[in-house]
Amino acid sequence: MYQLAEKLFPICRSITGDGVRKTLQILQQECPELKIYEVESGTKVFDWEVPDEWNIDDAYIENSKGERIVDFKKSNLHVMGYSMPMDRYVGLEELKSIVYTQKDQPDVIPYVTSYYCRRSGFCMSENQLASLPEDRYHCVIKSELKKGSLTYGEIILNGETDKEVLLSTYICHPSMANNEVSGPCVAIELAKWLKSLQPARYTYRIVFLPETIGSITYLSRNIDIMKKNTVAGFLLSCVGDERTYSIVESRYGNTLADRLLQNVLHYHYPDYKRYSFLERGSDERQYNFPGVDLPVCAVCRSKYGEYPEYHTSKDDLNLISEEGMRGTVELMKKCIHALEHNGYYRVKCLCEPQYGRRGLYPTVSQKGSYDSVRALTNFVAYADGTNDMIDISNRIEVPVEELILIAEKLLQNNLIERIDRV
């Protein structure tokens, strides 16, 4: 994954343009099931319309000695996203009016955009700006904003049923590591693993979208089937550092996605951080919007907005690691494994079955001899058809992955039945 991240990192992505296309093509090489879609500028998508396409070749500021003091080629963060073309000589004061800095972090280049209001702007560190002398600066942006299209990617892996699980990530930030490339890298790794689960119970819908306008565009085309079929969804964002795990809950924090993720995190990484929907920030905003109502929560390592490097030039490849992304992959595999086996079970006999003659119980009874079978008897005690495996796991304090093994033994012995599939 880290190699893929290195490949994706330098590309100058935005909500439209060739950076997105190139990113999706690289991902498609990893997973040929990925389909790339283009939606024309001007297309009405709910309350929005798809904007003109933005591309950029180069940008810089030169001082009067012809020295480039900022250079798009060195960091694509130096140009405000969606900047209009520019070629102008300005004095220091005017320069300051078009340069954005992060005053509370004077040594970083901030990531700044102006998608829907036409501007031109540069970004640099506050320290650099403060050190600039009075001079004549040549400000050049070789960009283009014109009718084109918005590009997104989609992988559909069909399962035994139409019921779907959504994985969503975004591909619209330029050189940002945790808050951008970690998402597609983890999503592609999961897609490869899901393909190996032949066939999974659920259909998996894995989407790579420009944030906000991309998810709104995608929903405008797919909302009916998604509302009908989605059982759980996860927005993957900032999933590459090693500091913690985080969940951003769905609107009311009570969907299957929430219950599942909280349960798995509880056993996998009990120190995880839990954020309410009030602290949302990525496309879970759209998935959970009133009337959209998809059961989606966000999964992060360090949550967007909560780590200092967020939306700055410090969110670079040093911030993420193979290990960090691997942790998220393992977490999501546990969630998906639990989800695939989740269901409502009901015991088939009245009173406890005679486990002993089925080899499920010690035949000598002595103080302490039943401790080893507590998980099994507790599972059965709550297998009354009203609890799914997550409920039972929460109640009896046994991870779902262990309950899956127990359920298999009980199914083999014809002691329980699955009465419904969630």
Which residues 367-396 are close enough to bind a second copy by CB under 8 A?
A: 367, 374, 377-378, 380-385, 395-396
> Per CB under 8 A, does 335 bind a second copy?
no
Interface residue with a second copy among 58, 352, 408, 420 (CB under 8 A) is 352
Q: Are the beta carbons of 226 and 189 closer than 8 angstroms?
A: no
156 in helix, strand or coil?
strand
d(CA 360, CA 221): 52
Which listed residue (23, 215, 255, 302) binds a second copy by CB under 8 A?
215
DSSP 45: E
Closer to a second copy by Cβ: residue 343 or 385: 385
Answer yes or no whether residue 46 interacts with a second copy by CB under 8 A. yes
The smaller minimum CB distance to a second copy, of residues 160 and 384, is found at 384
Residue selected from 202, 208, 310, 379 as contacting a second copy according to rule CB under 8 A: 310
Structure tokens at 264: 């798995």
How many Cα atoms within 13 Å fall on the side-chain side of residue 85?
A: 8
- DSSP-based three-state secondary structure for 395: helix
Least Cβ distance, residue 330 to a second copy (angstroms) = 29
User: By rule CB under 8 A, what count of residues binds a second copy?
Assistant: 64
Q: Quick check: 47 binds a second copy (CB under 8 A)?
A: yes
As a whole number of angstroms, the distance between CA 21 and CA 151 comes to 6
- Does position 419 interact with a second copy (CB under 8 A)? The reply is no
Let me know: does 300 contact 245? Beta carbons within 8 Å: yes
String marking each residue 232-251 x if it binds a second copy according to CB under 8 A: -------------------x
Does 224 help bind a second copy (rule: CB under 8 A)?
no
Burial call 174-183: b when 16+ CB within 10 Å, e when fewer: bbbbbbbbbb
The answer to whether residue 292 forms part of the interface with a second copy (CB under 8 A) is: yes
Q: Which stretch binds a second copy (CB under 8 A): 64-72, 90-98, 137-145, 350-358?
A: 350-358
Q: How far is the CB of 413 from a second copy (least distance, A)?
A: 11
**Closest distance to a second copy from the beta carbon of 371 (Å):** 10
Between 92 and 349, name the residue whose CB sits nearer to a second copy: 349
Rounded CA separation 405/356 (Å): 18
What distance, in Å, lies between the first and last C-alpha atoms of the chain?
Answer: 32
Is there binding between residue 412 and a second copy (CB under 8 A)? Answer: no
3-class secondary structure, 186:
helix
**CA–CA separation, 80 and 59 (whole Å):** 10
Give the interface segment with a second copy, choosing from 45-53, 57-65, 87-95, 159-167 (CB under 8 A): 45-53
Angle among Cα 31, 4, 164 to the nearest 5 degrees reads 40
Q: What is the DSSP letter of 177?
A: I
Question: Of 216 and 264, which has the nearer Cβ to a second copy?
Answer: 216
In the stretch 104-123, what mask flags binding to a second copy with x, by CB under 8 A?
A: ------xxxxxxxx-x----
Q: Looking at residues 260 to 279 of the shown chain, list those that interact with a second copy (rule: CB under 8 A).
A: 277-278
Decide whether 3 or 365 has the Cβ nearer to a second copy: 365
- Residue in 92, 349, 411, 419 binding a second copy, rule: CB under 8 A: 349
Q: Report how far apart, in Å, the C-alpha atoms of 338 and of each of 89, 265, 377 are.
A: 61, 12, 20
Tell whether residue 23 is a contact of a second copy (CB under 8 A): no
For CA atoms 273, 293, 254, 187, give the dihedral sign.
negative
Reduce the DSSP state of residue 266 to 3 states and report it: helix
**64 contact partners, CB below 8 Å, separation of at least 6:** 135, 136, 137
Give the chain's largest Cα–Cα span: 92
Q: In what order do the strands lie in the sheet with 137-146?
A: 68-71, 53-62, 137-146, 86-90
Q: Does 148 interact with a second copy (rule: CB under 8 A)?
A: no
Q: Is 220 in the site for a second copy (CB under 8 A)?
A: yes
Spell out, one character per residue from 69 to 108, where the chain touches a second copy: x when CB under 8 A holds, - when not.
-----------xx------------------x-x------
Please report how close the Cβ of residue 47 comes to a second copy at its closest, in angstroms.
Answer: 4
- Angle of CA points 108, 314, 62, to nearest 5°: 45
When computed from its CA atoms, the radius of gyration of the chain, rounded to whole angstroms, is 26
Applying CB under 8 A, the residues found at the interface with a second copy are: 46-48, 80-81, 100, 102, 110-117, 119, 212, 215-216, 219-220, 223, 251, 277-278, 280, 285-286, 288-292, 305, 310-312, 346-347, 349-354, 356-357, 363-367, 374, 377-378, 380-385, 395-397
